[in-house]
Chain A
Amino acid sequence: MDKGLYVAMSGAKEMMLAQAVHSQNLANSKTVGFSAALEQSRAMPVFGDGFPTRVYSMTESPGTDFRAGALLVTDNPLDVALPGDGFLSVLDGQGKEAYTRVGDLHIDELGRLKNAVNQIVVGQGGPIAVPPAQSVTIEPDGTISFVPLGASEPVSQILDRLKLVKPNFNNFVKGEDALFRTRTGAPLEPDASIGVIPGALNASNVDAIGEMVSIISAARQFEMNVKLMNTMQEDDAQASTIMQMNG
């Protein structure tokens, strides 16, 4: 039996995984702050004795598309968009610092500044808590100011500044909770060159047409692999009939 069957099988199986990566991107084509996952196939040669034909394929996600998504203007004073390479610092489930572009912020019942998926936003002085305020504004450089409740004159006070970072994308990966971290997990330093656009959000950066094309391409590639498996099945069937005695 020709072991090429397994090579074709690995091709088909890995194409199914590629399909899942693209489906995930499409499913999140409207998720605010979402960064698309990239997908590629890699040759995994397994050469032994004889003719070197055994090259299996492997689907992998070599990284994330870090481009900022289109701007979505909301006019909500607590919404921030991160243009360019900027990321916002938040606390993850373990209370460690992680990075995201989900910038629809709100103040919870304890006064903590959180984003829409309820991650606590980190400022340059640690997690941000807003005292009872008449109004809270975020400046384009990330400075958060507020007018305290009960103040006779609307004089705003500076509370903190959002910790905006500019990661080195070669060393920046998405975790299982959809937050980004450096490869070592070490926190990043704030970068003064990064600003925010108040009153706007980052739309998902998924290229929907590109993903559709990738899905179609993966489907056809899958079919070709299955076709090869079919051909090998026929070859084997033929081979076993050659030696049959005509009774």
Chain B
Amino acid sequence: MHPALWISKTGLEAQQLDVSTISNNLANVSTIGFKKDRAVFEDLLYQNFKQAGAQTSQNTELPSGLMLGTGVAVVSTVKDHIQGNLSNTDNPLDWAVNGEGFFQVLQTDGSIAYTRNGQFQLSSTGEIVTSSGQLLQPQITVPTNTESISISQDGIITAMLSGNTTSTQLGQIQLATFVNNAGLQPLGANLYKETTASGTPTINNPQQNQTGAVLQNTLETSNVNVVEELVKLIETQRAYEMNAKAIETVDGMLQFINQVL
């Protein structure tokens, strides 16, 4: 019917998707280890209605043409992997990574997933697991007669066993880093999966090669900035309204021509 109707429709769709992204960020404002998303917009292909430089007569040419765009599209949503705030807890199994590294957890299908959520717990057999029961990799088993457990910044886990005066080393945890963090595929439950875009993981001990230190009694909070999200929400709502207004205006034009002629 009229290109402007469809162009504005793409605008409405894009803003709608952006609101979903913002809502998801706001919903996860207190999710430990959550990384915020940002929708990436792209202007769609242009159609050349009148070519600039076309001959208007034998000796003259059109100095400027008319190119009509076809609207906007959301190309992707990108996770922003900047560091979240670190908050202190009293749980010795609350760990945070202060750097680029990811904890590795074993999924039920045998593949490895990656997470920044360091809220670990002990399973009934003493293994260190995530809050949904997936094993931390490399696997570490805590003996039953453990009085206290501690982890050094470079990832060595030691336990003070009852009756002992010196602590026993239980193992070493390792962190994964990726060339392109933004390429990781979010699986939900704070987990990420490697993809061809993220590249293969590089496994290192903490504090080596940008992995960062592991901090005990600490959690990394969501990196969502509430004020920023609310401002984005206002901006998106207004952009939505303006696109709706453009549709209304074009609709009014078409209605007018139908009535008058």
CA distance A211 to B8 in the complex (A): 13
Chief secondary structure at chain B's binding surface: mixed
Residues facing B in A54-93 (CB within 8 A) are: 58-63, 74-76
Question: Which of these, A74, A111, A177, contacts B179 with CB under 8 Å?
Answer: A111
Find out whether the CB atom of B253 lies under 8 angstroms from the CB atom of A16.
Answer: yes
Please give me the residue from chain B that is nearest to A131 by CB atom. B179
With known contacts A28-B72, A229-B261, A109–B65 Cβ distance under 8 A:
no
Interface size for chain B: under 10, 10 to 19, 20 to 34, or 35 or more residues?
35 or more
Flag B161-195 by CB within 8 Å of A: 1 or 0 each.
Answer: 00000000000000001011011000000000001
Question: Which of these, A21, A27, A174, contacts B72 with CB under 8 Å?
Answer: A27
B23 at the interface (CB under 8 A from A): no
Flag B229-249 by CB within 8 Å of A: 1 or 0 each.
Answer: 000000110110011011001
CA distance A29 to B252 in the complex (A): 22
For chains A and B in complex, what number of residue pairs have CB atoms within 8 angstroms?
194
List of A residues within 8 angstroms of B38 by Cβ: 74
Please give me the residue from chain B that is nearest to A130 by CB atom. B179
CA distance A230 to B236 in the complex (A): 40
Number of interface residues of A (CB under 8 A): 66
Interface-side segment among B41-49, B89-97, B115-123, B131-139: B41-49
Question: Which of these, B3, B15, B45, B250, contacts A176 with CB under 8 Å?
Answer: B45
A interface list, Cβ under 8 A from B: 12, 15-17, 19-24, 26-32, 34, 37, 58-63, 74-76, 102, 104, 106-109, 111, 116-118, 130, 132-135, 147, 149-151, 173-178, 208, 211-212, 215-216, 219, 222-223, 226-227, 229-230, 233
Q: List 20 A-B contacts (CB under 8 A).
A: A12-B257, A15-B253, A16-B250, A19-B2, A20-B4, A23-B3, A23-B7, A23-B71, A23-B243, A24-B71, A30-B235, A37-B67, A116-B75, A116-B76, A117-B40, A134-B100, A176-B45, A178-B45, A178-B69, A233-B261
B interface list, Cβ under 8 A from A: 2-4, 7-8, 10-11, 14-15, 18, 38, 40-50, 52, 62-72, 75-76, 78, 80, 82, 100, 177, 179-180, 182-183, 195-199, 202, 209-210, 235-236, 238-239, 242-243, 245-246, 249-250, 252-253, 256-257, 260-261
